[in-house]
Amino acid sequence: METIAVYWESRIKTYGFQRITDLALVEFSYPLSEIKALGEILSQDDLQMLRPKFMIAQESDQRISFILCLSVKEGRDFHASLEKPPGPTPRRYIYPVGIIFFHGPHFGDRYGIADATFSTLSKAEIQVIASGCSSSSIFLVLVQDDMDKAEKALGETFEVAK
Amino acid sequence: MEKLKIEGLKLSLELCQFDLRGPDSSEKIVMGASKALASQKINIEFLTYYPNRSNYHQLTFCINQDRFSDASRILEKKGSLPMGWEMNCRGHVGIISVFPHHSALKMLGLIMVSWGKQSIPIHGIATSLSAISLTTDYHVVDKAVEVIQGLFQLPDNHAPLKPELLYYQSSTVKED
């Protein structure tokens, strides 16, 4: 049986914006055919202490690319460890970056949230370095210096719960 | 060996996945695609966007399977995608969200090894504050869940959460 609930929300509500700053973004890729080998690398005990604040992976051209945000020290060490063969191919290291993330009562249920987010950032001329949206939340990786401007612009678009 | 603890699992409804890739104009693509989907009242369930790769940029998103034709039609319309951009679609995918207790990277590595052995593909990954979400083919979701249940220690009597309610935002306010 399917149950359908309908609601109306004029301005998209959020529970507020949270930030994490002073992060390093690390990108690497690996052949999809050897994904088990990458799994073995990631499950090594010496990487257990890593606490990625953001992670996405995209599949393309028979490879899987990972983008992780780590604390600066973790990012530097992890990027260096990738350069040791036979590890994944390191592609990019960007520092410093920050993350703004937010969620709301109807995130996951309704349309228009990504549109509101990316249109707002574009109008404010803020470049998005990476983004991941899942489990009813939006994560935006931005140049650290853009964080204040981004939060102000997003705060004007979304209704922040008091 | 003691199994890693996880807090739980959550499954999506049947979805479809679009991968849009192109050489430049990445800002146009994320804005254009999200605006086009919003205009058709299509909810994005999962999205990853990375416009900084050296040779191309990629936007991946998943929507409910019953909107596959609508989304394909608007994105395939001439002029919807910037010059040089291509679209690849997967008609039937599902998302498995794993709520890790700790050691998220190790947990992901173990899943990759075990799914790899069972030929269960990973088409995308995104994290939130509390979960790691993996997209895979819809027809292997049950098998993928079984593998995860065998790998980790779940709370007693845990069953994967499946959505039972569908919410829709109304386009009008109805007076009582």
Spatial separation of the C-alpha atoms in residues B126 and B168, rounded to whole Å: 24
pLDDT greater at residue A47 or residue B130:
B130
Chain length of chain B: 176
Q: How confident is the model at residue B148 (pLDDT cuts 50, 70, 90)?
A: very high
Contact A41, A87 (CB under 8 A): yes
B121, two tokens? 């593909």
Band of residue B164 on the pLDDT scale cut at 50, 70, 90? low
Residues B73 and B45 reside in one and the same domain? yes
Give B80→chain A minimum CA distance, Å.
15
Domain boundaries, chain A: 13-19+97-160, 23-96
Residue in the block written with tokens 């849009």: B20
Q: What pLDDT score does B170 carry? A: 61
Does residue B164 lie within any of the structural domains? no
Last residue of a domain, one of B91, B114, B134: B91
- Residue A18, beta-bridge partner list: A101
Same domain? For B45 and B96 the reply is: no
Angle (CA) A115 A118 A119, round 5°: 75
CB A132 within 8 Å of CB B48: yes
Tell me, yes or no, whether B21 and B70 share the same domain.
yes
Pairwise CB contact (< 8 Å): A131 & B172 = no
- B34 φ/ψ angles, rounded to the nearest 5 degrees: -70, -35
Burial category of A125 from C-beta neighbours within 10 Å (exposed 0-12, middle 13-18, buried 19 and up): exposed
Q: Out of B91, B112, B143, pick the residue that ends a domain.
A: B91
Minimal C-alpha gap between A41 and chain B (Å) = 7
pTM for the whole structure: 0.90
Residues of A in contact with B103 (CB under 8 A): 48
Q: Which residues of chain A have pLDDT under 70?
A: 1-9, 85-86
Q: Of how many residues is chain A composed?
A: 162
Q: How confident is the model at residue B123 (pLDDT cuts 50, 70, 90)?
A: very high
Question: What is the pLDDT at residue B22?
Answer: 86
Lowest mean pLDDT among A81-85, B71-75, B140-144: A81-85
Contacts of B95 in chain A (CB under 8 A): 134
pLDDT in tens, B96-116: 999 987 778 889 999 999 999
Mean pLDDT across B119-145: 95
* The CATH fold of domain A13-19+97-160: VC0802-like (3.30.2130)
Q: One-letter amino acid identity for A103?
A: H
CA-to-CA distance for B38 and B40, rounded, in angstroms?
5
Give the total number of structural domains in chain B.
Answer: 2
| A23-96 matches A13-19+97-160 in CATH topology | no
Does B80 lie in the same domain as B142?
A: no
Residue in chain A nearest B86 by alpha carbon: A60
Judgement on whether residues B57 and B104 belong to the same structural domain of the protein = no
Residue B43 in domain: yes
Confidence label for B163 from pLDDT (cuts 50, 70 and 90) = confident
| pLDDT grade for B152, boundaries at 50, 70 and 90 | very high
Residue B167 lies in a domain: no
Q: Domain A23-96 - what CATH class?
A: alpha beta
**Cβ contact B170–A7 (<8 Å):** yes
pLDDT for res A86? 67
Q: Which long-range contacts (CB under 8 A, 24 or more apart) does A88-92 make?
A: A88/A28, A88/A29, A88/A30, A88/A38, A88/A41, A89/A28, A89/A29, A89/A30, A90/A26, A90/A27, A90/A28, A91/A27, A91/A28, A91/A29, A91/A65, A91/B53, A91/B54, A92/A25, A92/A26, A92/A27, A92/B52, A92/B53, A92/B54
Task: Please report the ipTM that was assigned to this predicted complex.
Answer: 0.90
pLDDT at B109: 94
Residue B103 and residue B47 in one domain:
no
- Pairing verdict, β B165-169 and A3-7: parallel
Check residues B28 and B87 and name the one with the higher pLDDT. Answer: B87
* Mean pLDDT across B14-43: 87
My answer on whether B25 and B75 are in the same domain is yes
Domain match, B83 and B132 both: no
With cut-offs at 50, 70 and 90, classify the pLDDT of residue B32: confident
In A, minimum Cα distance to B42 occurs at A111
Best of A26, A111, A127 to substitute, by most chain B Cβ atoms within 10 angstroms, is A111
Q: Answer yes or no: is pLDDT of B145 > 70.
A: yes
Half-sphere exposure of B77 (CA within 13 A, CB side): 11
The DSSP-derived string for B132-147 is EEEEEEGGGHHHHHHH
Structure tokens at A135: 């489990």
Asked if residue B1 belongs to a domain, the reply is: no
Question: What CATH number is associated with residue B131?
Answer: 3.30.70.260
- Ranked by mean pLDDT, which of B44-48, B77-81, B103-107, B161-165 comes out on top? B44-48
> Could you list the residue range(s) of the whole structural domain that residue B122 is in?
6-12+92-151
- Does B97 lie in the same domain as B78? no
Q: Does B147 share its domain with B124?
A: yes
Cα separation, A134 vs A114, whole angstroms: 11
Write out the two tokens for B129. Answer: 């504050």
> Is pLDDT of B175 > 60?
no
Classify residue B174: in a domain, yes or no: no
User: What pLDDT is stored for residue A82 in this prediction?
Assistant: 75
Give per-residue pLDDT as tens, A84-131.
766 777 778 888 999 999 998 777 777 889 999 999 999 999 999 999
Specify whether B43 is located in the same domain as B106: no
Instruction: Establish if B163 belongs to a structural domain.
Output: no
